[in-house]
Amino acid sequence: MTTTGATGAGFRSRLLRALAEGIAEDGYRRTTVADVVRRARTSRRTFYEHFADKEACYARLLAEANQRIIVRITEAVDPRAPWEEQVRQAVGAWLDAAGATPELTLSWIRDLPSLGAAARALEREVTDHFVVMVQRLCDTEELRAAGLRPVDKQWATILIGGLRELMATAVEEGRGLEALAEPAAEAVIALLGPRR
């Protein structure tokens, strides 16, 4: 059951924020519903009015976080800039956004795929949103004038998967994501560049 209205939205936001805090401190698997309601300063009853279970809360958290990242990337790109600069803007925005919540980024990449069919459907949905974003960002006059072809779903998926793995590895190794900006941008430029 989902509660609507201003009060419901406030509780929902608090629960999502509490889950994100739990993931940052303890990881997804060790964070319990009891931890979430304690952090949110609400009750289990309120939690279950908004989410069927911890996975449903996690799914909503990831969906909203990734939507914000997509918006941030899209807004960061100047479609009139040279195409290589557009790539750097997009990659930099993604790394900045993911680096603001590295534990949640890592959880999205590592924990979500292991949570069953519903989680796998969410992962595909989120990836599809990223694919559409990449395709839209790559379908500009500047890129066509530079001789770049439209990016199909397979190429966009390769690009997204590679960047996700690069970010996950950096977080696991305790490295900041900002150091990935130039090598990641160069890899994307090589992938997207004019093909013979």
- Do residue 88 and residue 161 come from a single domain? yes
Kindly state the average pLDDT of the residues 28-46: 97
Secondary structure (DSSP) of 22-73? HHHHH-TTT--HHHHHHHHT--HHHHHHH-SSHHHHHHHHHHHHHHHHHHHH
Split at pLDDT 50, 70, 90, the class of 186 is very high
pLDDT above 90 covers a percentage of the chain that reads 82
pLDDT tens column, 135-157: 999 998 888 888 898 899 999 99
- Do residue 92 and residue 5 come from a single domain? no
pLDDT tens column, 94-108: 999 999 999 999 999
* Predicted structure pTM score: 0.89
Q: Is pLDDT above 70 for 124?
A: yes
- Do residue 86 and residue 139 come from a single domain? yes
- Do residue 90 and residue 39 come from a single domain? no
> Are the C-beta atoms of residues 130 and 160 closer than 8 Å to each other?
yes
pLDDT tens column, 4-26: 444 667 899 999 999 999 999 99
- Do residue 143 and residue 89 come from a single domain? yes
- Do residue 108 and residue 141 come from a single domain? yes
